Amino acid sequence: MNDAAVPPPLPSSHPAPPRFSRLGAALALCVIAACVAYAATMHSTHREADETGVHPNRTMELMARYVVGVKETMTTTALFGGGQAGLEGFPVNFDEMLVQNLSQVSRSQADKLRLLIAKSWLSGSWPAVSELETVAAQNEGLQADVKSLQQMRANHGAVNEDDMKKLRARHGWFADLARARALPKSDAARQAVVQQSTQTAVVLICFSMLGLLLAVGGLVALILGIVQWRSGNLKLTLALRSRSQAGVLLEGFAIYLALFMFVPRLLRHMSVLLPPWAAYGPALLILILGMLWPLLRGIPRADWRQALGLHRGKGLLREVRAGLLGWVASLPLMVAGMIASSWIMRLTGDVPTHPIVDYFAGGGWEKLGAFLLAVVWAPVSEEIMFRGLLFPGLSAWLRWLAGMLVGAFVFAAIHPQGWAGVPPIMALAGGFSLLRMWRQSLIAPMTAHALNNGIMCLVMMFLWR
């Protein structure tokens, strides 16, 4: 009998899979689904709260400024012969068309009052007393506002300064529009409102035309990309990951998502008053925890970097250029998403809004903070989590197409635009996922994400100057 000691087995070149990864993946999916459901509930709760309070509706305000600006431009342009009479030859009732567009973003009783103010400008006549009294009767909180509006009309725009401040605080730019309506056409305050409205209309029309041109170019790029993909010259793939590693990626994302959604709300409900920026410290720690979770669970560092796309790909500048091209190619998808969004708006009456608009309507520091949040923080943090952890984790279990669609839906559903905003955001997220598959690195989707948000912020800055 050979009593020689049996040599120990040679170490495997492949590390053992993380323990309980399948269970972790199942729990992670449950957490993600719960967070999406909670986000949907919070959207509904916030919209119901909006209907009970009286505060500016920035989306309706921008739309009203656009409508008034278009009306003023059309009534003075030589294209229609100049003046209001020139609009009689327009193929449809122009005023009714503008009012219909504006009424689509009207949600509350306060918005009904604002709609009357806008209609009075378009029609050239002050709202009927019966219409104002009806709004006041339906909402007692608007009775003081109606009274101030009636004083404006009786005093040719003159109103107590404190009452005017209250109107601005509750109705925003509509307070200035109402006062301008009661002022003579030669008054400087009225001309300032007209100039601001015209500027808004010009900015929106110019950016819309530019977006349309880019979308046409994007459609060409998208078609060429599909042809290259079909011929095998362009590869869309993710580095192959085992389901055990994918489960750990999903765990990291679920931890991040749950903490990111609930910790800021917990801080806001604390008795200690904290500045608005105080939530970003915990958010950074949560991001780091979610990102490092796969390492803590035993995934080798090289596999971790490849799985999350935390590398330079084929070079920083080359990846940035790919991100720019990928964003342009994503624009046709976003246009299709916007068409689907318009159908949801018609069926449900829901209007996509985003709280960041309120920040751009504020002062300089608020605009700077919103810009940094949208152009720096969001592209980096969201791409690491959604295209670094969630998309590869889902794709290993569901295949890439299903993983892309499910990940895009989660990405869109937790954003605060409401259900009508889900299709275009899903389209963008799908484009970012395809960029991740094309380039492997996160640099390209981060670039496309930052470019998209940066252009939106640029538009907001022009609109709220």
Residues 183-216 pLDDT 10s: 888 888 889 999 999 999 999 999 999 999 999 9
CA dist 121 and 127 (Å) reads: 9
Least Cα distance to 408 among 442, 441, 432 occurs for 432
Give the number of residues written for the chain. 465
pTM of full prediction above 0.85: yes
CA dist., res. 309 & res. 387, Å (int): 8
Q: Are 22 and 244 in contact (CB under 8 A)?
A: yes
Which amino acid is present at 71? K
Alpha carbons within 13 angstroms on the beta-carbon side of residue 127 total 24
How many angstroms separate the CA atoms of 417 and 423, rounded?
A: 11
CA torsion through residues 59, 61, 62, 66, sign = positive
Once rounded to an integer, what is the mean pLDDT over residues 433-438? Answer: 95
Structure tokens, 120: 């009075």
pLDDT of residue 387: 95
Q: CA–CA distance from 390 to each of 24, 76, 189, 410, 420 (Å)?
A: 14, 54, 53, 9, 23
* Residue-level pLDDT at 44: 61
Is there a contact between 423 and 338 (Cβ–Cβ < 8 Å)?
A: yes
- Whether the Cβ atoms of residue 39 and residue 261 lie closer than 8 Å to each other: yes
Between 301-308 and 243-268, two packed helices, what is the crossing angle to 10 degrees?
70
Answer left, alpha or beta for residue 43, where phi above 0 means left and psi between -120 and 50 means alpha: alpha
The rounded mean pLDDT for the chain is: 84
Q: Which one has a higher pLDDT value, 344 or 350?
A: 344
> What is the reported pLDDT for 14?
56
**Lowest mean pLDDT: which of 258-267, 312-321, 365-374?**
258-267
DSSP state of 355: T
Using CA of residue 78, residue 83, residue 86, residue 90, what is the dihedral sign? positive
According to the model, what pLDDT value does residue 85 have? 44
Rounded to an integer, the average pLDDT of 415-439 is: 92
What pLDDT was estimated at residue 409? 95
* Residue type at position 144: A
How far is it, in rounded angstroms, from Cα 355 to Cα 370? 10
